[in-house]
Chains A and B, each alone.
Chain A
Amino acid sequence: MKGLYAIVDTKLLARRGTDPLEYARALLVARPAALQLRAKDLPARAILFLLRALGPMCRQAGVPLVANDRADLAALAGCESVHIGQDDVPYELVRRIAPQLSVGISTHTPDQLERALKERPRYVAYGPVFETSTKSNPDPVVGVDGLERAALRARAEGTPLVAIGGITLARIPEIAAHADAVAVIADLYPEGATLHDVSERARAFQMALGVVPRRGAA
């Protein structure tokens, strides 16, 4: 896993009146390292509908689809991965119930990171690296130093690390050396941006992270 970990946040998109599938299509043009559906505002059936629609799009683009929080819906929709937080169904249980899913774990402190690394997940996410506006109750900022320490531990364990929280294109040079991938929500879709702009920004993130663009569009 290397490059942009693009997040389709339905709450943000609802505010802009943007169709999540059209938005995802715009992101997939850049062939990110992963595409996550984050739909904390939607009921289960709506999330499942979106996951089932995103599945073929992501497969065609060769991009792993990650469901946020909901291992049950990830399993029902046939996603490759699920991203779980500290308050979700525990990693061990997800692996037992749905072993076909690879699991990424959100962590926010060195202790949480150590516990997560012991599970040998698909990846660990660490942050927030910077102040973030897209989470309603954000954890304390870990900073670039905290990310750097986390990266050393993750690399020692051979687990990819995804930097999360407040990441913008302008800040990529600060963190690129300390993360395998960076999760981005808001900065992919600044106010006034078009879907074409979204594709371009996603490409720019990939370039900034040293990922050579692949040919072909989703």
Chain B
Amino acid sequence: MSLLLAGLVVAGTSGALMIGRWLARRRDQANELAGAAGDDKDAPTKDADEARAQAEVEAEAPARDDGESPAEAERKDKADPPAARTKKGAARVQLEGFVCQLGDVLMRITGEEAWLAGGVVLSEEIPVAVLFVAPDAVHDCVIYVRARPRDCLLWLEPLDPSAVLVGGEPPSSVEHGGIRFERTRRLPLRPRRIGVGAPDVGDAVVVAEYASAGAERLLVLKANSGVVRAYRGLELERGSYEVIASGDTTLES
């Protein structure tokens, strides 16, 4: 009897230990995730609205020419170079909450224009930011937009990454062109290329956003493959640019 009792006690103890270890592992994983995003002062909260937004994006994004499933779209993203995509199909990717979409034309009050022909959607649980590329006959420009925690649109040009990296990493602050930039966010994100001409940044990327005391901004993308891309430009205020939406065409009307 005592042997039976002892056996039950041992089994119960080891079971409790296993459950305890499992709980601890879950806690550690949660802490790791929190730590990874911890540098993001404005990391989006995962509330019900965002979950709905994500569901909308997931539902809209694959609605291209042939209504392919999200899984098919994901597979095609990996298999097909963006160059193989048609703008017509790609332009149907709806990025909920962003001030502009793939295929739109941005116009600054200073006269510059950008045709958002391609981009990299950067996501956590939901799309956090989009890096649009705008081809031009003279020089390409890049538009970086965030929807949360507030609308923000940066008009950027490519920069030699070595000018801003320290030891191969995006530092917490950097001086470039006589201006001091402080890092405001450091986000580990999942990239997904859309449209045409988007840079290949692998399947995981750390995005470091920098701000000066004024409107100057720096952006550094470090891919898990080791590729680094850097951009510098200005944050544009609402009212200093206009978006011509690509949604309605005369063909569709």
Contacts and interface: CB of A to CB of B under 8 A. Distances in A.
B244 A77 contact: no
Interface string A35-53: 0000000011100100110
B103 interface: yes
A90 B197 CA distance: 13
Interface in B65-117: 83, 86-88, 103, 105, 107, 113, 115, 117
Interface in B183-231: 195-197
A44 B107 contact: yes
Nearest to B138: A87
Name which of A44, A88, A96, A98 has the most chain B CB atoms within 10 A of its CB: A96
Interface stretch (B11-19, B151-159, B245-253): B245-253
Contact of B244 (A76, A78, A89, A96): A76
A98 B87 contact: yes
Nearest to A93: B135
A56 B250 contact: yes
Q: How big is the A interface, by class?
A: 20 to 34
B109 to A, nearest CB: 11
Contact of B115 (A43, A52, A72, A100): A72
B237 interface: no
B136 interface: yes
B196 A88 contact: no
A116 interface: no
B242 A45 contact: yes
B135 A97 contact: yes
B3 interface: no
Contacts of B88: 98-100
A107 to B, nearest CB: 16
A78 B83 CA distance: 21
A69 to B, nearest CB: 10
Name which of A44, A73, A90 has the most chain B CB atoms within 10 A of its CB: A44
B137 interface: yes
Contacts of A76: 103, 105, 244, 246, 249
B137 A96 contact: no
Q: How big is the B interface, by class?
A: 20 to 34
A52 to B, nearest CB: 5
A128 B118 CA distance: 36
A97 B197 contact: yes
B245 to A, nearest CB: 8
A55 interface: yes
A99 B86 contact: yes
Given A93-B135, A97-B196, A100-B86, A45 B244 contact: yes
B196 A78 contact: no
A37 to B, nearest CB: 13
A75 interface: yes
A159 B40 CA distance: 56
A44 B137 contact: no
Contacts of A55: 250-251
A93 B117 CA distance: 10
A108 to B, nearest CB: 16
B91 to A, nearest CB: 8
A73 B135 CA distance: 14
B195 to A, nearest CB: 8
Contacts of B105: 44, 72-73, 76
Interface of B: 83, 86-88, 103, 105, 107, 113, 115, 117-118, 135-137, 195-197, 242, 244, 246, 249-253
8 smallest CB-CB distances across A and B, nearest first, come from: A55-B250, A78-B251, A78-B249, A72-B115, A78-B250, A97-B117, A97-B196, A97-B87
Given A44-B244, A97-B115, 10 more contacts: A44-B107, A45-B107, A51-B250, A77-B250, A93-B196, A93-B197, A96-B196, A96-B197, A97-B87, A97-B135
21 contacts: A43-B107, A52-B249, A56-B250, A71-B115, A72-B113, A72-B115, A75-B87, A75-B249, A76-B244, A77-B249, A77-B250, A78-B251, A87-B137, A88-B137, A93-B196, A96-B196, A97-B87, A97-B118, A97-B135, A97-B197, A98-B88
